[in-house]
Amino acid sequence: MSEIKDFDALREAMALNSEQPEGPARNARAEQLLAEAEKLSIPLAVIEALGHQLKAYNYSSEKDRMFVPFARLLRMWDERPEDFDEYEVHTLHWVFKWMTTGMLDQPHIPLASIEKWLGEMEHRYRLAGHSERAVRGAEFSVAAHVGDLGRAERAYAVWLAADRDSMADCHACELHSQGWWQAERGADAEALDLWRPVLEGEFTCAHEPHTVLASSLGPLLRLGRTDEARAHHLRGFRLVRPMESMRGAYADHVEFCALTGNEARGLELLAERPAYFTDSGQPRSQMDFLAAVTLLMDRLTGMGMDTQSVPGPAGRAWTARELAAHAREEALSLAARFDLRNGTSYVGDGVRVRMDQAPLVDRLPLGVRAARGIPAPRRAPVAQPAGSAEPQAAAPDDLSALLAEARRMSNALLPDAMEAWAAVSRAAEGVEVPAADRAEIVDHRAMEGGPEGIALFERAAELYAEAGDPGEALAALARAAYARALEGDVDAALTAVSEPYEEVLALYSDESTGVRQAAAVLMGRARILMRQVEETGTDQALAAGENAVRELLALVDGHAGDDVRLASRGAEAQAMLGELATRAGDLAGAAELFTRATEAFVAAGLPWFAVEYEARLAGLAHHLGDIAGAERALRGALEHGGAFLEAAGHAQLNLQLAEILGARDEITEAADHALEAAHWADEAGEGPTLGAWARHLLGGFLLRQGRWAEAAEVLESALPDLGAETHGDGAVVQTLWWLGDCLDELGEHRESAERRLKAAEIARHWPEQQDHATLAHLAAESLGRAGLPAEADQAYERAGDLWHSLGNVHGLVRALRARAWLALRTEAGLDGARQRMTDAVRECARALSEADDLESRQRLGAELAHTHRQFGDLLARSAAEDAEDGAIEAAFEEALAQMTKAIAVFSSLGEEGLHGRTGAELAAGWLEADLSRPAEAAARARGVLIAYKGCEPHEDSGEEEAETVRARRAEAEQMLQLMEQEAG
């Protein structure tokens, strides 16, 4: 590191250090620069270096070190105020606020000292002629911290009433403090109203909207505005993540995770910042962080995750239970120090309230996936929806009550009926029960499946027969036969079901059994034959299956009434016919049959049975081009599945619906369903597969809404799981592409270029090179914006070669123009820039001469005109101000020649080239003025005014069109007035 030789070098070094990330390295460099400044023997150099050191400390975890440089600065001011220039005088008074309120964060500084400094600040501000606004704002901070609410309200009122001057905090910071106070007083809606200008970007600063986004999380959750809270977390955490000094805001995000069922993400946040547990430079933010950690750890412990390994202070391993105790003890110890200093219990009371909060949302999906290796916490079972209640409470020996409840649930075909029968089975162990009851118990145990199912069904049949119910015995045998088919032995199953089938028909015809029993046997046989269709697919199997299903339909037709079981048999039979129609290639007929089946299930009060067939119907409808029908089916499946739908089913259905809505540009709702899909995929353990694809889609939908930060967070979390083998390399490229777009919008241009170049490298191997060329071009743009001209030039050269190979003249010309501008910032210089612009003109002119259709000639003509215009601009701007007059005049003449060519080409385009022509005319006019030709410049201005005479934009032409016309007229009038004054 070179030694600082002069004041300019010192200032340059301080500016460079200010751009470095917050932290000890930047602070250490600030200390070195102060030492170098002292060697210069220039008082102002030392003053500026002390100010730089103070700011570095303030925006870091070492805030407690800023008081020493400030005390030295204040002493220098008191001794020799003439050493301070205007900027440093302003800065000294500005940081007085940091000192006064910063002392509040240090419990070792007595409250009396803080009050003394507050008085000193008021005195010095009055002497300097400043408003009392900043002083009252500082007084409010002191009173609010110690819990003197009356004084805080009075200071708050005077603060807002006082005039804003140069010492007032920026609008963004003031609004954050005002909104924070409203939230503290329970006025969450008012707080959010105050924060709106900051959240919408009207007011910003180095730490805003970072802190407002973090502070808004609790109020939004308490008001039930969960979508906004999710967005603020994703957007806000991205801002605070790299900033060491923002531990308090970081704690708000950890707290948010604990309050919304995102404990796994909360652990991920802790893992990213291990130093936050122990950095002691700002005890108040350390206390806030530890309180949030306690809340998160208590949440995990309460969910049975007390032995879960969690990130904690370095030096040892931690479980959730251990860290909960440690963090609570440390947070309360820090709070006690503040309360002892303040003489109140206000800080400690607030910390206890924060640590003991109850979750505000059971589970708020975020769309991002927590880091691998951190398991999702075990959650308590979700309350069952109405109609699927747990078996009624009964003592283990109250078998009759349990039986009655299990039969009720079975007759209604409720999803939890099997759990009810399991309770009956447990209660019946070792108890003598009638054969009929025992038969039902064994029958339902057999339905749980497994290798024992066949034997249990057969045992149930024996018990039904013993109880004098031959119909149910035959139904049990049919179920045993179907169990054989499920085991893979369809032939044996058909043999086993043939006798029960013949016998039950005979019994039914003799009225010796009911339609329910007969339908059960016929359904068992039909299911077996459907398995045969799946295995063989022969015409014979299809015919046999259809005959069996239609026989079942004929049996139950008109008999269902209020019998849910029979209605279910009929609906399932319609679905079977739909399956057979699908196999026969009659997709339209299959869709109609599946529609009948789903309607029948819903009409019978069994909507959860409709879900499987609605999903099938959605696929068929989509295949048939009936997108509206597919959407209806998917919505129906989600509605009817409700709480009974498995997590994987939720994920798949929401994902399909998101894709349909996205294709129709209903982006907001599409994003909602993609978010749900990502959440349920994670719940199903399919985060790396379905979840990654859902996040890919969600990121794209958020991008299309202009929600760049949220989209970036989601896309970054999708990338580790997206793979060419699972999702296709097209998905990987598209995700990188979208992420690059987001990062570019966020001003993270270097990172954007990295993603775009990575995507381009994958696309390089594709047969079609359009995407490769586009990505290389976009990467070049990002590199240019990142201040890397040499790298940008290389990327543009790569893109240009690709555009040339593709025969895309527009892409090639734009790459050449961009390289020309970059040449002015590289070794290529003006000569290189001129050559590249010349190449661009030549390529464009050649393509224009070869174009054989009007549309191509129009587009290429516009490209050529814009190239001449840019060539002129480049030449004009390249003229150095300190060059000889002759060189400047020559550059302007050459630029004017290019502008004249641009005007000619724009003019040839007619109405389409109007705005381009007038813009070039005005540029040429200013060049004429610089060449001391006011008459020619005035003529060009008049030409623009004539071109727009009577040219009023139409209502449907858009605001941009109208603004262009207004701006061109105004500029022309200004030019004309100036030239006439000069001529006169």
* The pLDDT value given to residue 382: 39
Q: Which residues is 318 bridged to in the sheet?
A: 310
The answer to whether 701 touches 671, Cβ cutoff 8 Å, is yes
In Å, what is the CA distance from 573 to each residue of 539, 568, 612?
19, 8, 14
Report the C-alpha gap between 500 and 495 in whole angstroms.
10
CA triplet 171, 175, 178: central angle to 5 degrees?
Answer: 140
- Residues constituting the chain: 984
Per residue in 722-759, is it b (16+ CB within 10 Å) or e — as a string? beeeebebebbbbbbbbbbbbbbebebbebbbbbbbbb
H-helix or E-strand containing 310? strand 309-310
* The pLDDT value given to residue 724: 87
Tens digit of pLDDT for each residue in 681-702? 998 999 999 999 999 999 999 9
Reference 156, options 170, 173, 144, 169; nearest CA is 144
Reference 806, options 770, 851, 850; nearest CA is 770
φ and ψ at residue 208, rounded to 5 degrees:
-130, 135
CA 932 to chain centre: 56
Query: Within a 13 Å sphere around the CA of 763, how many CA atoms are in the beta-carbon half?
Result: 26
Report, in this order, helix, strand and coil percent for the chain, each rounded to 5: 75, 0, 25
* The pLDDT value given to residue 471: 95
Reference 690, options 703, 702, 680; nearest CA is 680
The answer to whether 623 touches 639, Cβ cutoff 8 Å, is no
Report the C-alpha gap between 272 and 311 in whole angstroms.
9
H-helix or E-strand containing 718? helix 708-718
Query: Within a 13 Å sphere around the CA of 474, how many CA atoms are in the beta-carbon half?
Result: 28
| Helices 435-446 and 453-466, packing angle to 10 deg | 160
H-helix or E-strand containing 319? strand 318-319
Tens digit of pLDDT for each residue in 300-334? 999 999 999 999 999 999 999 999 999 999 999 99
Contacts of 869 (CB under 8 A, 6+ apart): 898, 899, 902, 916, 919, 920, 923
Report the C-alpha gap between 984 and 979 in whole angstroms.
8
Residue type, 448: E
User: Residue 45, exposed/middle/buried by CB under 10 A (0-12, 13-18, 19+)?
Assistant: buried
Q: Which sign, positive or negative, has the C-alpha torsion 799, 804, 810, 813?
A: positive
Q: Where are the alpha helices (DSSP H) in 42-200?
A: 43-58, 67-79, 86-104, 111-128, 133-146, 149-161, 171-184, 188-199
* The pLDDT value given to residue 786: 95
Report the C-alpha gap between 470 and 467 in whole angstroms.
8
In three-state secondary structure terms, 745 is: helix
CA 525 to chain centre: 51
Provide the Cα torsion 114, 119, 120, 121; round to 10°.
Answer: 90
The single residue listed with the structure tokens 């109880």 is: 467
Q: Which residues is 309 bridged to in the sheet?
A: 319
Report the C-alpha gap between 35 and 39 in whole angstroms.
7
Structural Rg of the chain based on CA atoms: 38
Encoded tokens for 846: 């050649």
Report the C-alpha gap between 477 and 496 in whole angstroms.
8
Reference 349, options 339, 359, 337, 360; nearest CA is 339
End-to-end CA distance of the chain: 60
201 backbone φψ class: left, alpha, beta (φ>0; ψ -120 to 50): left
Report the C-alpha gap between 365 and 229 in whole angstroms.
11
Report the C-alpha gap between 226 and 671 in whole angstroms.
15
Q: Which sign, positive or negative, has the C-alpha torsion 889, 893, 898, 902?
A: positive
Extract the residue ranges of the chain whose pLDDT is less than 50.
Answer: 373, 380-396
Report the C-alpha gap between 383 and 361 in whole angstroms.
15
